Amino acid sequence: GENVEQHPSTLSVQEGDSAVIKCTYSDSASNYFPWYKQELGKRPQLIIDIRSNVGEKKDQRIAVTLNKTAKHFSLHITETQPEDSAVYFCAASRGGGGNKLTFGTGTQLKVEL
């Protein structure tokens, strides 16, 4: 089955700096890669996703890059703000959001003033 690894497990940045979280996956048939932000006790919130037919996607301060050959994808957050502090999870699935997701282990992001 699919295995998704995520690094780092914790990340502390100064407000205004950039944050990068990386994930690798094992199943070459995976073609949908979402990123979620989860606050304590809450449901995961989709912040951006990418499908395997593109290499990069951007939405304001958030971007995701995908390298299918190397089977890794990364989340980039620019101009970080304190409200970006949360746990971030990457995930992978075959066939889109309607299929089961395999999650990474999570990254605790802390944005310091």
Partner 1 sequence: GAVVSQHPSWVICKSGTSVKIECRSLDFQATTMFWYRQFPKQSLMLMATSNEGSKATYEQGVEKDKFLINHASLTLSTLTVTSAHPEDSSFYICSASYQNTEAFFGQGTRLTVV
The residue ranges that bind partner 1 (CB under 8 A) are 34, 41-44, 46, 49, 89, 95-106
Residue 107 has phi, psi (to 5 degrees) of -130, 120
Contact of 23 with 74, CB cutoff 8 Å: yes
When the beta carbons of 40 and 113 are compared against partner 1, the nearer one is 40
Least distance (Å) between residue 102 CB and partner 1: 7
Q: Which is nearer to partner 1, 9 or 81 (CB)?
A: 9
Quote the least distance from Cβ 21 to partner 1, whole Å: 13
3-state helix, strand, coil in the chain (%, to 5): 5, 55, 40
Q: How far is the CB of 78 from partner 1 (least distance, A)?
A: 23
Peptide bond connecting 34 to the previous residue in cis, omega within 30 degrees of 0: no
